[in-house]
Chains A and B, each alone.
Chain A
Amino acid sequence: QQPVQSPQAVILREGEDAVINCSSSKALYSVHWYRQKHGEAPVFLMILLKGGEQKGHDKISASFNEKKQQSSLYLTASQLSYSGTYFCGTYRGSTLGRLYFGRGTQLTVWP
């Protein structure tokens, strides 16, 4: 039931792009993306709803392919502040509010 994230880790130089993938074997209602910096709590980034549009703010965007039960997070022109662990959380629309989180993707951006 836990979604699968890939890759497990990414190392980038400032200004480079990255893609983080999240896939589920179950039909999804929505996909949530969070970023957690070391020693801190996860912070909500964005949500992709079934039938909704691709989301994004600043240079971080995401897409959701409902038919494939997959979502991708796109980070363009990475900044040092993008470093952290990114988690996807999937909502299947059954148990109210219950999200299934992936194991996370550790992103490191070097100057």
Chain B
Amino acid sequence: SQTIHQWPATLVQPVGSPLSLECTVEGTSNPNLYWYRQAAGRGLQLLFYSVGIGQISSEVPQNLSASRPQDRQFILSSKKLLLSDSGFYLCAWSGTGTISYEQYFGPGTRLTVT
């Protein structure tokens, strides 16, 4: 069965510090991968998605970036965090070669920028 991991689970970082969040998927190959951000009490904002290694599409211009160095690894980064970067960061995957594309979410990382 497929499993998706995210770490760390929680993170408190000062403004201006760098960020690296990691997401890995097990039990599937060549998944589509997604990074979402959810502000407190709000909906899901798609940040990046990837259909393959090195293929990243950005949805929202911001000071975040994403990379996919391996098939089942997706990394979210920032060089300098802003207060507005606080939120719940969710990684998700969906299968390829399917018509349905249902997404399965990881447990999330709760980021607080102070």
Contact = CB atoms under 8 A, between A and B. Distances in A.
For the complex, would chain B's binding face be called helix, strand, loop or mixed by DSSP majority? loop
A101 B105 CA distance: 14
Interface residues of A, number: 22
A96 B102 contact: no
A89 B99 contact: no
Nearest to B50: A97
Interface residues of B, number: 22
Given A41-B108, A103-B42, A104-B43, A96 B32 contact: yes
A89 B43 CA distance: 11
Contacts of B46: 98-99, 101
Contacts of B51: 96-97
Contacts of A75: none
B100 A47 contact: yes
Given A49-B100, A98-B49, A42 B43 contact: no
Contact of B102 (A29, A32, A103, A104): A32
Contacts of B3: none
Interface string B99-114: 1111111111000000
A77 to B, nearest CB: 26
Nearest to B36: A101
A87 interface: yes
Q: Which of A40, A44, A99 has the most CB of B within 10 A?
A: A99
A88 B44 CA distance: 11
A64 interface: no
11 contacts: A30-B99, A30-B101, A42-B44, A43-B105, A44-B105, A96-B51, A97-B96, A98-B46, A99-B101, A103-B42, A104-B43
Interface of B: 32, 34, 42-44, 46, 49, 51, 57, 90, 94, 96, 99-108
Interface of A: 29-30, 32, 40-44, 47, 49, 87, 89, 91, 95-99, 101-104
